[in-house]
Structure 1
């Protein structure tokens, strides 16, 4: 064949192949992955690059434009040190580099209305004899992640102790307390939609979860007497402040039959009692002069109440409850029983609520309208919580950077920057402070550097233990600097 014809054939094929790129565009799959291709009428897609693939080919590598990159590298050796894996009371990952962090440039907390007035009110809450904080969030805070670090820093600054809330039936790693429960406990979570439909009621309390030691049954009269127990010990893996508490609370409700309770302190019987069986919310409280080495609770009855959880606190100072909701986006509250939620709020008396949601919705966002509906729904749920806690202040922690794969290249989810901006805008309209974790990490494609530096997991979504400490410290330093700047 003549060389010119061969050349013409090759050029024609290349032109045809390039022409197909004009029909290719970006599509989000049901699993949240962003794919390039040609979508046909029957919803099948031919994977094919878009025209901007040419620009990508000329990039030697993804730009590492993370403004915290130097910060991470400067602190890498210090953070990796196993001696700081669980910090003692006088330890911190803060060093000269972190102290020089320009927190008003990156990772800024945005305040509604009169900024100074809002910070003063926030500081007044923290300086009270007792300040109760509830931290709601998704899997990013599971196992007291982020919450535990921030709690420790706040308790060091404003006094306080104890881990706050935790469930009886623990379903994820828990370093804040050592709890061993008998095998017959089961967990029920309002944010577990399948499980919620089976329960038949919406009374899940302030912590949106509860544990039971007997299953649900229609014929309760024929149920046998059942015993259950749990044992609590301070966790040597936790921060020193969390290991000191003198106030015990066992939160329960939906009790309609006789339930006996025995409490042991360090192996000695402390109290024998009966729980109130009127169906309403109650908190069974005990005070100790010093932190017990061990608290054991034995329960006995035919039908288990719903036990919303345990709280362990110091008698004064800052208390922070970690309420992790795996897979949740922060819009379940309005579907819970308001009276039950309000009763528990009146007992726990939260002063500050921290919401940390948004990451679970990002992979499924396809339109601006979906984004708008989500943020409005989240704010509406925060207002519902506010109605039950009218004196509380609110803060929203937006999601950090998350990346998806586009033809083998990592990139920030397309709607994440828009979500960050919309959250900020709506928070400032509704008397809610906003911390942009996305900006604190460095913005678009920052997660790539965090993963490379060992600060985030290979899923390009969750922080590693070292990254958790770093982002928690950045948040705390932002808050600390703002509080220190006002009288």
Structure 2
């Protein structure tokens, strides 16, 4: 009897369309670097992505007992849940869908998609770690919090999720948050003004159709709502913040960042950064050693919270100077330096690396995307099928690396985590 080995899934119709589009735009076969982190007798016992690939193997063979979570940190490229949405959907179609993961109380601004937030009414003031002025209250892993004005509420349509977690901050003077399911009260926060963060977990009734967060008074602070199935499958947490770079993610309060990330227990840490670093280097608002220190610290802080997770650093996309002058389509200075630096940090820290710049076609790629109508007028942010194509390149590279790695060595199954008691509340550090 032949041993099981991973094989590439049949391409979806969308993947085939994007492959044809990529051929027209000059993309290259996407490959990522998956370095050996545990050499043995002239071979490799364990690669950087082994923990994640072991989870995929378990999902593929039906031996998994819990969801496989991906935590994706990034900038405006993913803040609207683009690029990573393709990764989530393609992996979910192959390995199963286990829920939406971390969601926000409202959008990050008065415009944009609501795919990763509730349908909000009333006044929620968003604050992000990407703002010029540092916010008064602490951030967790989402890099975002929403503070309620009077009678703020957010409604989330449920999709059969069995469990939820509310991340809230006990700010001085804040009022309670009420959780309603299908219009009926389920649980309530009990703020005391202690300045502590809380993780409040609760089970959702079978067949429930909607969950609503209600803040009757002002001041209540929501850092995120986690909606997830208990079944095996893929969950991808989109942790993208406009204007973010690695150093801005370090604005999150370290103990809170580590506690929330450990609670999510991702099997893959995904860092999609670099574009803002290159801009700030060009504008002389940063130095290369600051960029290196920031990304290296973020990677180390994340890995310290979840030491058993795999790690993948994704380099920035092609970028040009922009504007209206003759230099508008000239490659942005420092882009090559940032890509080289990110690759070095990834391999130094035992992470895999994906060169998105090369995969999308190298220098001149963003101009070809623009000529095809796949970039906004700012010549910085791809749109529509352009974002989908970047997501497919990342997905294809990850799946190819999974197949190339082959089946992981058999290990004794880990005991399933003890499910939390209903309506339990934990204070985060």
- TM category, shorter: 0.7 to 0.9
Looking at structure 2, the residues matched to 460 and 135 of structure 1 have their Cα atoms a distance apart, in angstroms, of 24
Q: Can you give the 5+ residue segments of structure 2 that lack an aligned partner in the other structure?
A: 1-10, 38-43, 59-63, 408-429
> Could you say what the CA RMSD is over the residues aligned between the two structures, in angstroms?
3.1
Q: 1:228 aligns with which of 140, 152, 157?
A: 152
1:10-46 alpha-carbon deviations (Å, 9 max, x no partner): xxxxxxxxxxxxxxxxxxxxxxxxxxxxxxxxxxxxx
Distance 1:443 1:305, change over 3 A: same
Looking at structure 2, the residues matched to 343 and 376 of structure 1 have their Cα atoms a distance apart, in angstroms, of 22
TM, length-normalised to structure 1: 0.69
| Counterpart residue number, 2:352 | 433
Looking at structure 2, the residues matched to 134 and 328 of structure 1 have their Cα atoms a distance apart, in angstroms, of 16
Larger radius of gyration: 1
| Counterpart residue number, 2:302 | 385
Q: 1:358 aligns with which of 254, 263, 274?
A: 274
- Structural mapping, 1:193-342, within 5 Å: 193-196=132-135, 199=136, 201=137, 203-214=138-149, 226-233=150-157, 243=159, 245-255=161-171, 259-267=175-183, 269-275=184-190, 277=192, 278-288=194-204, 290=206, 292-301=208-217, 304-316=219-231, 317-342=233-258
Q: 1:397 aligns with which of 308, 311, 314?
A: 314
| Counterpart residue number, 1:32 | none
Distance 1:422 1:120, change over 3 A: same
Distance 1:410 1:314, change over 3 A: same
Looking at structure 2, the residues matched to 100 and 143 of structure 1 have their Cα atoms a distance apart, in angstroms, of 22
Q: Once structures 1 and 2 are overlaid, which stretch shifts more, 353-362 or 245-254?
A: 245-254
User: Deviation at 1:294?
Assistant: 2.1
Q: 1:138 aligns with which of 51, 60, 75?
A: 75
Looking at structure 1, the residues matched to 70 and 151 of structure 2 have their Cα atoms a distance apart, in angstroms, of 33
User: Deviation at 1:337?
Assistant: 2.2
Looking at structure 2, the residues matched to 396 and 432 of structure 1 have their Cα atoms a distance apart, in angstroms, of 7
Q: Once structures 1 and 2 are overlaid, which stretch shifts more, 431-440 or 125-134?
A: 125-134
Q: Can you give the 5+ residue segments of structure 1 that lack an aligned partner in the other structure?
A: 1-89, 215-225, 235-242
CA contact (8 A) 1:106 1:442 kept: no
CA contact (8 A) 1:258 1:274 kept: no
Looking at structure 1, the residues matched to 81 and 160 of structure 2 have their Cα atoms a distance apart, in angstroms, of 17
Looking at structure 1, the residues matched to 249 and 387 of structure 2 have their Cα atoms a distance apart, in angstroms, of 26
Looking at structure 2, the residues matched to 413 and 231 of structure 1 have their Cα atoms a distance apart, in angstroms, of 42
Looking at structure 2, the residues matched to 134 and 465 of structure 1 have their Cα atoms a distance apart, in angstroms, of 23
Aligned length: 372
User: Deviation at 1:465?
Assistant: 1.1
1:319-339 alpha-carbon deviations (Å, 9 max, x no partner): 111112111111134343222
TM, length-normalised to structure 2: 0.77
Higher share in helix: 1
Q: 1:344 aligns with which of 254, 260, 264?
A: 260
1:164-210 alpha-carbon deviations (Å, 9 max, x no partner): 222213124224256222322211222213142xx1x5x21121221
Distance 1:439 1:124, change over 3 A: same
Distance 1:263 1:376, change over 3 A: closer
CA contact (8 A) 1:427 1:433 kept: yes
State the SS of the aligned residue for 2:287.
Answer: helix
Of structures 1 and 2, the one scoring higher in RCO (CA 8 A, sep 6+) is 2
User: Deviation at 1:444?
Assistant: 0.9
